[in-house]
Amino acid sequence: MSRWGIGVEGRRIADLGDGTYRNPVISGDFPDPSVLKDGEDYYLTTSSFDAAPGLLIQYSRDLVNWEPLTFALPNPPAIVFAVDIVKHEGRFFIYIPFIPAAWAPEFGSTPRIAVIHADSMAGPWSAPIFLDIERAIDPGHIVGEDGRRYLFLSGIRRVRLTEDGLATDGPIEQVYDGWRYPDEWITEAYALEGPKLLRRGEWFYLISAVGGTAGPATGHMVTVARSRSVHGPWENDPANPIVRTRSSDEAWWSRGHATAVEGPSGDWWLVYHGYENGFRTLGRQVLLEPAEWTDDGWLRALGGDLSQPLPMPIVGTATASGSSGAPDVGSLRGVSRSDDFTALELGSQWAFHAPAPGELGRVALEGDALVLAGKGTGPADSSPLAVPTGDRSYEIEVVVELLDQREDASGGVGADDQSIGGLLLFFDNALFLGMGWGGSTMTTYGGGRRSHWREQVPGSGVLHLRIRNDEHIVSMWHSPDGETWTRHGLRFETSGYNANTVNDLLSLRPAIFAAGPGAVRFRRFAYRAL
């Protein structure tokens, strides 16, 4: 049985309760959203990159109120890029690009696309089945007018699938060269990617992204093309791009990678990601924008200024957790980002970064504590357990107790035998900050490396740690008892802890870590938005 539970993560509220909502509808780092409408139900998943478990599936009845349902990929074999959720003839499929990673050497050095399938979105999901598709990302599924299944790929290329959708049935072909924006526009790169397809009336629509997903705020955008046949030719929308951040003064930057979906009242919506102005550290968050079809059959975005409240897709309907048709997640509901570790399972707020096979074996839940076996020598190689956040300001605390320390001949703990446990703000293994406690010494981390700073902390086996991130200004405290706190001598400014600094499309997340030969006991992890 998996030791991972699913629970509501306490993100910023999108539904304002007055018939309007405010973006983001899912705050925090949930990029490349793929959305499936199945009757009255909506399902969404996003790129999970280096995290394990991966592919958190979320459920909604109104496109605004979302709750976690399950992890479709408990043990990712490599990095997970943008996927596509599909329902075909009563069965569910997720097409997944896997990217090589240093933490998954057995995967090899070539990107590959796989598929998993299930009878229900709640699972259980099959193990990945690798298709004969290499060096491609961003799959998009469609059934053609010929009844055959096709997978469109970055580029934009296309390959036919077998009837069961579990193998390719022909060569990969170039089918569309994209819409070209003016050369003087400020973007990251052309980067034709993210094909999402739908059939409406006599037209097939191909929605894609260009301009690069990071880089300048004005780079990423949404473009549309259409054809009367899945085989083309494709006609570009004369109004392209239909979504783009045109100025860094806007509330949301780098908007793109859209799925068009029919709303609960027959209206239409675009679901895509974007960076919050000034807060790239939070990653790419899920945005919802109303849309409409013109009389001549083109899709138009209607959201305008996304910093303002917008009318809900439907008013007066129960949210996902209260609707009678919602999938039953039972006792797994109601878990916040905080964790007292008294449950039998870890909640969906926790995910290992850069996990080795069997990483979950490092975890033991005992009473009111999480015991994490040490790995590596510090945050960079210890696969920290991280939680997502979508808050501009927040505070985190945890109690750290060191276990299994080995003494040297003098009666002290030898440097080579020292276990370290700590509290971090973690972007990736090259960029993080925080505190590591070794029983007699504290290690300070900043900018992804060990700091020269020597923080004076009395020796003990237990220490309370606190980190506050106040709109990029980070302060830290330690306490022997959780009552008397000493502020750390250093503060940090973290606005640069983002994708444009290290070329890694992740976010700055609260995390705990255990390194060294022993184990670390963590108690009372508390998260509080400020």
d(CA 281, CA 416): 34
pLDDT band at 13, cuts 50/70/90?
Answer: confident
Residues designated catalytic: 32, 193
d(CA 432, CA 413): 26
Residue 305 has pLDDT above 50, yes or no: yes
pLDDT of res. 408:
38
DSSP character string of 39-81:
TTEEEEE---BTEESEEEEEEESSSSS-EEEEEEESS-SSEE-
- Biggest distance spanned by C-alpha atoms of the chain: 84
Residue 327 has pLDDT above 80, yes or no: no
pLDDT of res. 330:
33
Model pTM score:
0.92
pLDDT of res. 6:
43
d(CA 130, CA 145): 26
**For the residues 26-46, what does the mean pLDDT come to?**
97
Cα angle value 396/337/341 (rounded, 5°): 90
Q: Kindly state the helix (H) or strand (E) to which residue 528 belongs, with its residue range.
A: strand 519-529
**For the residues 106-128, what does the mean pLDDT come to?**
97
pLDDT band at 320, cuts 50/70/90?
Answer: very low
Q: Fold for domain 20-332?
A: Tachylectin-2; Chain A (2.115.10)
In angstroms, the Cα distances linking 452 to 119, 323, 446, 476, 523 are 55, 55, 10, 16, 28
Q: What is the pLDDT of residues 217-272, one digit of tens each?
A: 999 999 999 999 999 999 999 999 999 999 999 999 999 999 999 999 999 999 99
The torsion defined by the Cα of 392, 399, 75 and 109, in degrees rounded to 10, comes to 70
**For the residues 35-56, what does the mean pLDDT come to?**
97
pLDDT of res. 344:
72
Q: What is the pLDDT of residues 348-364, one digit of tens each?
A: 789 999 999 889 999 99
Q: Which residues have a Cβ under 8 Å from the Cβ of 196 and sit 6 or more positions away?
A: 34, 84, 140, 206, 207, 208, 258, 259, 260
d(CA 460, CA 379): 21
Q: Kindly state the helix (H) or strand (E) to which residue 401 belongs, with its residue range.
A: strand 393-403
* Cβ(87)–Cβ(98) below 8 Å: no
Percent of the chain residues past pLDDT 70, beyond the cut: 91
Residue 293 has pLDDT above 80, yes or no: yes
Q: What is the pLDDT of residues 478-506, one digit of tens each?
A: 999 999 999 999 999 999 999 999 999 99
Pick the CATH number of 351-529 from 3.40.50.1100, 2.60.120.200, 3.40.50.620, 2.30.30.40: 2.60.120.200
pLDDT of res. 297:
97
**Residue whose C-alpha is closest to residue 474's, from 522, 421, 510:** 510
pLDDT of res. 11:
63
**For the residues 498-526, what does the mean pLDDT come to?**
96
pLDDT band at 101, cuts 50/70/90?
Answer: very high
pLDDT band at 323, cuts 50/70/90?
Answer: very low
Q: What is the pLDDT of residues 377-402, one digit of tens each?
A: 999 999 999 999 999 999 999 999 99
DSSP character string of 165-192:
SSSB-S--EE----PPPPTTS--S----
Residue 197 has pLDDT above 90, yes or no: yes
Rg of the Cα trace of the chain?
24
d(CA 268, CA 289): 9
Percent of the chain residues past pLDDT 90, beyond the cut: 86
DSSP label at residue 331 = G
pLDDT of res. 411:
39
Residue 331 has pLDDT above 50, yes or no: no
pLDDT band at 369, cuts 50/70/90?
Answer: very high
d(CA 445, CA 512): 13
- The ranges assigned to domains in the chain are 20-332, 351-529
Residue 476 has pLDDT above 60, yes or no: yes
Q: Kindly state the helix (H) or strand (E) to which residue 442 belongs, with its residue range.
A: strand 442-446
Q: Which residues have a Cβ under 8 Å from the Cβ of 110 and sit 6 or more positions away?
A: 100, 134, 135
Q: Which residues have a Cβ under 8 Å from the Cβ of 406 and sit 6 or more positions away?
A: 413, 414, 417, 517, 518
Alpha helices in 377-480 (DSSP H): none
Sign, Cα dihedral of 341, 345, 351, 356:
positive
Residue 410 has pLDDT above 50, yes or no: no
182 CB neighbour count, 10 Å cutoff = 5
Residue 59 has pLDDT above 60, yes or no: yes
pLDDT band at 434, cuts 50/70/90?
Answer: very high
pLDDT of res. 415:
42
Query: Residue 423: beta bridge partners?
Result: 435, 512
User: Of the given ranges (183-187, 293-297, 343-347, 444-448), which has the lowest mean pLDDT?
Assistant: 343-347
d(CA 213, CA 189): 9
* Burial track 282-296 (b if 16+ CB lie within 10 A, e otherwise): bbbbbbbbbbebeee
Cis, peptide link before residue 105, omega less than 30° from 0: no
- Which amino acid, one-letter code, is at 212? G
Which of 3-12, 103-112, 416-425 has the largest mean confidence? 103-112
**For the residues 38-46, what does the mean pLDDT come to?**
97
d(CA 452, CA 473): 20
Residue 316 has pLDDT above 60, yes or no: no
